[in-house]
Structure 1
């Protein structure tokens, strides 16, 4: 088989989706494939690609569907036509919409939602998103779910097509437990006193990530741990909060490892997730994790590695966070268990599976270059 040509398409240029795209593209380049990424030029993704030499092809696209979506789709088609890929790998909702509109194609298509689109909507928007995913799923040659929970959500919603699970993974050579000296140095660099209990919540501030629930819970945490501090690290944050003296709003960190080393517990009060890289990074660095009991997080937080609490329940969230801030030995023991559990989410295995699937899609769909025949799905379930 000749050198594969793969085009990744992503609208998110920060956070877990962008990190995943950069990792996948770099691995495929290492294998000798011809790889490019179509994405907006702001944010971190284009910056991450630059040192690798992987082209970041300019694709202007907004996060939500609007009157410009058809223009975004036409711009993407021009990019695809010029790059002439064997496989187009669409990441997240906007790329999945623009890249799966009706029309002839001569390449394989992989779609990876990284969290189903209807979970972000309400009412009519949620219903329309679910109907679209059910309609568009058969237009893929593979539809990748990042975890078992995401697969079940899709199946329960009536999504039928070439669904397959390729679980997210974490780079275990980069994310590993910090020694006491490293933890002390991280706190010193971040301006956090050595004896202050610290809770960390990191990720783009949004309804999805549930920072509002954590802020609602925080006063109850302080009644039990008056010295505790909370760091909310991510884009779009403002200097507001119920406890200005104990809550810090920080911009997104290019490298989350110092924050992970410095904290006692990581809190993820999300309303929905795929299988978040930040949770896997928390496990790998040996931090206790308090998270909501939703698909994607229930696969990560297992007995002994932290606590699962009901979604939309600030009281239960406060109790679980306060328990670990008040008992550092408990948090440390859970962190050690998390490090052992992280071995089940090795990034190397994730990328191997992804490359094998991409190769299979290319092999199954290359006849389109001459016959334009509709491809046979390469994956039919899990």
Structure 2
């Protein structure tokens, strides 16, 4: 079995999913290649012993897309894969234009592009996704909500929901005080938010809620882990010394362990890894009700109406004021992840879909 995973972006949750699938499929004895721009994904894939081919591609579509398609066609022709697995909207766009259904093709949006933007771009994305579905042999959605969003705009064809999964050995409960000591954080009520500093991740909504949290829990601390294009603007608008702008850090398990509550204020998601990772670490989660959140969080925290900043502040403050109650939610979360969101289950489900594609192609 020759499987090629094509991905742009090369960081964060999408990269984590690609790496896990590539590792698991290689362990099955398949020939697996990751095709992506240079960056963390390519580096980590090579470290796992997975073949990597570089594909120069920007994250956003534009006039460079034609050249990106030419380059990807050349790479795929040389690899001659049995199955092409396209990850996220940019790879899905270029990959399906190149392959056009002539090889078994899987597409995994990891959140539809039209959900993270608006206006003309969102309308164009919806048109493309409807058209691109004819060149998709198997759509893979990470949550029931994500599949429903695709169906609602007219995306048809074979589809399966394969929820994201996490490494329950890497992400596991750990001592809170020791984690804070390792990170140099004070031993005070601590909320943690992990994610790229981009509009759809919604850290600005959490920052808007934070003064109300501090009014109820005066000694509280907020740690924002991640960087991105909105970072400079948001930092300039925030003069609160209780907010720590940590920047990017790969050791996210330590931040989950250090937290009393993990907050995800996103405006859009497919099914985010952050709540699952936090739950695996035994931490309570507070999140807005965007795609995949209710399906992942369950009783492991609070799920609030999207954009309810006042409710967000109250939910975070309650858990910072009573960490023992929050830890009970975290214990529920750990059990839920072990039962439903273990990465090995995800890899097995995707491998089964690949096998079915190959049977259908014969």
> Could you say which TM-score interval applies, normalised by the shorter chain?
over 0.9
Partner of 1:12: 9
1:267-315 deviations in Å (ceiling 9; x for gaps): 0001111111111111111100000012211112223x11111212211
**Mapping for residues 17-166 of structure 1, pairs under 5 Å:** 17-42=14-39, 44-101=40-97, 106-166=102-162
Residue 361 of structure 1: CA displacement? Answer: 1.3
**When the two structures are aligned, how many residues end up with a matched partner?**
357
1:297 and 2:290 correspond? no
Q: Could you tell which deviates more after superposition, 271-280 or 101-110?
A: 101-110
Query: Per-residue deviation at 1:241?
Result: 4.9
Q: 1:364 Cα deviation (Å)? A: 2.1
Residue of 185, 194, 197 corresponding to 1:202? 194
The structure in which a higher percent of residues are helix is 2
Q: Distance in 2 between matches of 1:204 and 1:210?
A: 10
Task: Specify the alignment match of 1:340 in structure 2.
Answer: 335
How far 1:223 moved relative to its partner? 0.7
- For structure 1, list consecutive stretches of 5 or more residues without a partner in the other structure: 368-382
Structure 2: gaps of 5 or more residues: none
The CA deviation string for residues 246-286 of structure 1, in whole angstroms up to 9 with x for no partner, is 00111222121110110100000011111111111111111
| Counterpart for residue 225 of structure 1 | 217
Report the Cα offset of residue 163 of structure 1: 1.2
CA contact (8 A) 2:69 2:98 kept: no
Q: Does 1:307 align with 2:302?
A: yes
SS of the residue aligned with 1:41?
A: coil
Q: Residues 333 and 67 from structure 1, CA distance in 2 versus in 1: closer, same or farther, beyond 3 angstroms?
A: same
Instruction: After TM superposition, give the deviation of residue 341 of structure 1 in Å.
Output: 1.4
CA distance in structure 1 between the aligned counterparts of 2:117 and 2:191, rounded to whole angstroms: 29
Q: Helix, strand or coil: the match of 2:277?
A: helix
- 333 and 241 in structure 1: CA distance in 2 versus 1, 3 angstrom threshold: farther
What TM-score do the two structures reach when normalised by structure 2? 0.95
189 and 106 in structure 1: CA distance in 2 versus 1, 3 angstrom threshold: same
Cα 1:221/1:243, change in 2 over 3 Å: farther
Q: For 1:254 and 1:309, locate their aligned partners in 2 and report how far apart those are by CA, in whole Å.
A: 28
Question: Cα RMSD between the aligned structures?
Answer: 1.4
1:95-152 CA-partner distances (Å, limit 9, x unpaired): 0000111666642110000001111221111111011101111211100011111111
Runs of 4+ deviating beyond 4 Å: 102-106
List per-residue Cα deviations over 1:1-57 (Å, max 9, x = no partner): xxx011100011110000000010011111111111110102x11121122221221
What CA distance in whole angstroms lies between the structure 1 residues aligned with 2:100 and 2:196? 36
Cα shift at 1:235: 2.2
Q: Which residue in the other structure is 1:189 paired with?
A: 182
SS in 2 for 1:300: helix
